[in-house]
Amino acid sequence: MTIKFGFYLFPQLTQLDFAGPFEVFSHVPGGEVHLAAKTLEPVAADTGLKLTPTTTLDDCPQLDVLCVPGGPYVDCLFDDEATLAFLRRQAAGARFVTSVCTGSLILGAAGLLKGYKATSHWTSVDMLADFGAIPCTDRVVIDRDRATGGGVTAGIDFALTLTAELVGETVAKMIQLATEYNPAPPFESGHPSVADDVIVNAVNKLLAERLERREANAAKYRKIAS
């Protein structure tokens, strides 16, 4: 049985949000991975890496698993009708509607997380409430047919967890071993709950302008929705 996976590619996405799950899903038996974008022109990630779409939004087949990565400018898509219409259309027939990192905010803007538990990057997880979702700080959250992963590297955990749901734990474990996903981070600094305060404060300061803009756009969405 073919399982159609699809990622929505947009300018300035965070490539690792996409690349981790892409690697996992590409190894799923019967898996077929589509990369959908507005055009077939290469899409530049936030680091400059260019990704090549395989289909346009209009030509994308109905997906079994729709996945939206995040990025620093996801709030620019909160009112992008082409993006939101594509996600809503695909969600209507998908088996799972999913995201990694701040991609969950885009799903929220499309109205696809209302009443669902969901997670996001630690800097933005609380904003999910603006879209009617129930914010969770877990690294991977599955609520019925919605599956969301936390920030960036959580995409691999998310993809393996979802793979187990789709084709069984044994296959997921085989993919984990084949890709040698055996994380042993050199520092205990991957989340505010374990990082030193000075590091947390420095990162918050670094991201302050981005987060202020994102919060303002999320609040604007909440005002319009109410």
- Among residues 90, 14, 4, the alpha carbon closest in space to that of 51 is found at 14
Considering only CA atoms, which of 14, 19, 15, 60 is closest in space to residue 37?
60
Residues known to be catalytic: 101
pTM of the model: 0.95
pLDDT in tens, 84-122: 999 999 999 999 999 999 999 999 999 999 999 999 999
pLDDT along the chain (226 residues), means of 10: 96 98 98 98 98 98 98 96 98 98 98 98 96 97 98 97 98 98 96 96 95 89 68
Q: Can you give the pLDDT at residue 1? A: 80
Number of domains in the chain: 1
Structure-derived torsion over alpha carbons of residues 122, 187, 98, 166, reported in degrees to the nearest 10? -150
- CATH no. for residue 170? 3.40.50.880
pLDDT at 225: 63
Provide the domain limits for residue 40: 3-225
Q: Which residues pair with 8 in a beta bridge?
A: 36
